[in-house]
Chain A
Amino acid sequence: MRTLHKFHGGVHPPQHKAESNGLPIAPAPLPKRVIVPLRQHIGAPAKAQVKVGDHVLKGQMIGAADGYISAAVHAPTSGTVSAIDLHAVPHPSGLPDLCITIEADGEDRWIERQRIDYKTAVPDAVRHALRDAGIVGLGGAVFPSYVKLNPGQQAKIKTLVLNGAECEPWITSDDMLMRERAAEIVEGIRIMAHLMQPDEVLIGIEDNKPEAITAMQSACQGTSFEVVAVPTLYPGGGEKQLIQVLTGKEVPSGQRPINIGVICSNTATAYTVHRAINHGEPVISRVVTVTGNVQKPQNFEALIGTPISEIVRQAGDTSHYIMGGPMMGFDLTNLNVPLTKAINCVIAASPALFPPKPAAMPCIRCGQCAQVCPCNLQPQELYWFSQSRNFDKARAYNLFDCIECGCCSYVCPSHIPLVSFYRFAKSEIVMQDREKIAADQAKERFEFKKQREEREKQEKAARMAEKAAAATAAKAAAAASGEMEDPEAAAKKAAIQAAVERAKAKKAEAAALSPSPHPSPVEGEGAKNTEPT
């Protein structure tokens, strides 16, 4: 038995998994129209590769990765591009984003698929294939996988962690995928392991999923991969928490797991890696849990871009919808948004399932929040500094290490929406930093201009002085000795002397002016370090 470690705190919210894991994953019906956002990942949005009116095939790349941290998007079904414009998307900001709308032709005809023999291909070719297949972390963080699977400077990867913890209540999409498609997930892990050559491969699954654990164990037979049952404790599926539980190592603040020789990836992502490399299929669908106040809670395999309203058949008194889990998900009031790679769960919420939160009371400093914080922060202090806009203090108390897991709010007896305060403070600080940099740059430009004007003035003065000096020197020389030197030579000498001095002054000035590197706003303090799945 592997010795497991503990992370600080954590909570046990009611699980509500049984509602949706009783039925097998069902294919969602083919929608008439799909809306594919160009930004479904962390990083730059994909660049559209089609025009309105183009006919596209299922699996055809319609948006290409733009830059290093970006990922491609693909046509989920065959049809005609009818619009490339702003459309409502499931995002906490509520802002619309650029989407490609495709009217399905109903044939669902595939583009020619090319599998790759990853064992013989060069690793970079495999990574390229992953990028072009639009593979991103499906646990919710949607970080481009080919970037993650690039060891870069890190010479040796010690551990490859597969995250099948699924610690958020209500969500069962990873659970069902592991139960039903364990062998394919393991194929995907093989590809990842081949790319990274880790010393060990650990598959962490919370012990409330015995079926998934058994399925993965039997699929791992004959491999060196180890399935590890981890205690059910939210947010045990947070990347840094799972790594801590499995390896005992803490990912240093502001760094990524790879800095300590660990790579962590979701099991659902491993599945898409297998489909992409061994079948040539890009990410055009995903498994999504539809649960809560619906007629039949269940997991669906739905095409990316399917309007969520076509998957969710809610019961009468639904008040709103939660995208993701109840601890970290965000609210939507309408379902006129497409399914994206990031959406692993839609919960129809009713007042009975999610009672309105009671009004907040003052913080009574009970410290319960601090006892459950997985980062060992002091949420009550962060709250105090955030609400009093004492942002420097909030930062000093490591606000940016907060993963917004919601444990603190969950236990707060005063019902304070702590996480909202932290989000507010973080965005204010980022904005202030940006403003400060802009102001610094403006100041620098102004100083530079002032100095240039000053220099020009000095130069002018110097030239005048030089001329005068040369003239007097010449005169003096002539007066001193009628024969030793001719006045012209003396004037030249003085002029050379003056020029040398001028050059020296210029050099010193240039050194003083050379621009200093700008401090970047919150480098290494990613607003969100991990997203528990």
Chain B
Amino acid sequence: MSSSPHTLTPGSSVGSIMLLVLAALLPAIAAYYFFFGPAILISLALASATALAAEALMLKLRQYPVKFFLSDGSAILTGWLLALSIPPLAPWWLVVVGTGFAIIVAKHLYGGLGNNLFNPAMVGFAVLMISFPATMTHWPTPLMLAQHPISIGEVLQYYFSGALQGVNLDAVTMATPLDTLKTQLSLQHTVSEVKNMPIFGSFGGKGTEAIAAMYLLGGLFLLQRRIITWHTPVSFLLALTLVAALFNGIDSSRYASPLFHLFTGGAMLGAFFIATDYVTAPTTPLGKLIFGTGVGLLEYVIRVFGGYPDGIAFSILIMNAAVPLIDAYTQPRVFGHDSGVKS
């Protein structure tokens, strides 16, 4: 005996949604591999293993059915999003500490699946950023990797020994394009001068702009499959574009173009995969628009005027805190009513 409805959408489950999101990340991961070598694969594997172990541990401690919840795939997604946000060529403990913190503290200590206020991957990122700022801003560059290709074996060697025989790590890593731009601008160079540097591509960073384009592609796939709605990514990217255009219009020698901002750092990843996280974003259409706009604006402000090279994690965390309020004040009008919520 069960109550109506007696039938459910075939194949729909939390696990299948998470699987689709993971699948939507694959093109970007492929591009990542192409430009930055195999390090990302090891980083993703390590993040997945850590996420699953931490999740299982917490489920067991909280006396939840471990296998049932472990199979929902949400922990792996958190691990992947974190791994994709941090430098791939970094000591192994960086991704482990970040993922562990994300799952144990940000997810489970806040009540577990569906209850956490803050995006776990971004909490993990923020913790790493604050604790290990130097490691977090050193990324391998495609150009230098082309001169010193690094094999999987070498990546592993670096991961666990912290050193790479025959290769000077400083020769293959440097600050991200966003970071470089900021540093160089503070040295009184103009945007166009800086962008002639080899790490920059045609409109973003070399390599990273292609990865960003793949995030966009994956995001469009999620839109098409109705896993996400257009509200958050569109408002996010629109806000970022408009504010970047405004400053770029005021002084194009000091402020990069909107296109540059859209295709560098975590903008695309954030717009389609992080700001759209169900649990930590608003559920109402208007709420999503406000949330997306807020993240887009904060992202720009932190990137350009703040102390960190990219603002995606902090802007999302700040807006996460406002979600309950946003939801409460953006209830849509109910059928047959003049308003959403009765006072």
Contacts and interface: CB of A to CB of B under 8 A. Distances in A.
Interface of A: 7-8, 11, 13-14, 169, 240, 244, 250-255, 320, 322, 326-331, 333, 349, 354, 356-359, 361-367, 370-371, 374-378, 380-381, 395-398, 401, 404, 406, 409-415, 417, 419-420, 423
Contacts of B336: 240, 250-255, 375, 401
A253 to B, nearest CB: 4
A375 B68 CA distance: 33
A323 B217 CA distance: 46
Contacts of A331: 1-3, 6
A409 to B, nearest CB: 5
A254 B283 CA distance: 26
Contact of A401 (B72, B115, B279, B334): B334
7 contacts: A240-B335, A250-B336, A330-B4, A356-B2, A398-B340, A412-B12, A417-B2
Contacts of A11: 9
B278 A410 contact: no
Interface stretch (B13-21, B37-45, B81-89): B13-21
The listed residue with most A CB atoms (<10 A of its CB), out of B2, B6, B333, is B6
B8 A409 contact: yes
A419 B3 contact: yes
A327 B7 contact: yes
Given A398-B337, A423-B3, A358 B9 contact: no
B337 A326 contact: no
Interface of B: 1-10, 12-14, 16-17, 68-69, 72, 74, 112-115, 229, 278-279, 281, 283-284, 327, 331-337, 340-343
A8 B255 CA distance: 44
Given A361-B14, A377-B334, A326 B6 contact: yes
A327 B6 CA distance: 6
Contact of A411 (B9, B115, B229, B332): B9
B334 A328 contact: no
A396 B341 contact: yes
A511 B8 CA distance: 59
Contacts of A371: 229
A401 to B, nearest CB: 6
A252 B335 CA distance: 8
A380 B229 CA distance: 17
Contact of A413 (B1, B13, B283, B333): B13
Contacts of B5: 13, 326-328, 406, 409-410, 419
Given A253-B336, A330-B4, A377-B334, A363 B114 contact: yes
Contacts of A401: 334-337
Given A365-B283, A398-B334, A401-B335, A330 B3 contact: yes
Interface of A is mostly: loop
A112 B110 CA distance: 74
B335 A365 contact: no
Given A364-B114, A378-B283, A253 B4 contact: no
B52 to A, nearest CB: 17
A147 to B, nearest CB: 21
Contacts of A328: 4-5
A419 B7 CA distance: 13
B287 to A, nearest CB: 10
A367 B283 contact: yes
A250 B335 CA distance: 7
A366 B16 CA distance: 13
Contacts of B229: 367, 371
Contact of B342 (A329, A364, A396, A409): A396
B265 to A, nearest CB: 27
A11 B337 CA distance: 22
A358 to B, nearest CB: 7
Contact of B7 (A8, A13, A254): A13
Given A361-B113, A364-B278, A401-B337, A322 B3 contact: no
A308 to B, nearest CB: 17
Contacts of B2: 331, 356-357, 417
B6 A366 contact: no
The listed residue with most A CB atoms (<10 A of its CB), out of B14, B229, B336, is B336
Given A330-B4, A361-B113, A370-B284, A410 B333 contact: no
Contacts of A329: 4, 6
A102 B110 CA distance: 63
Contact of B6 (A7, A322, A378): A322
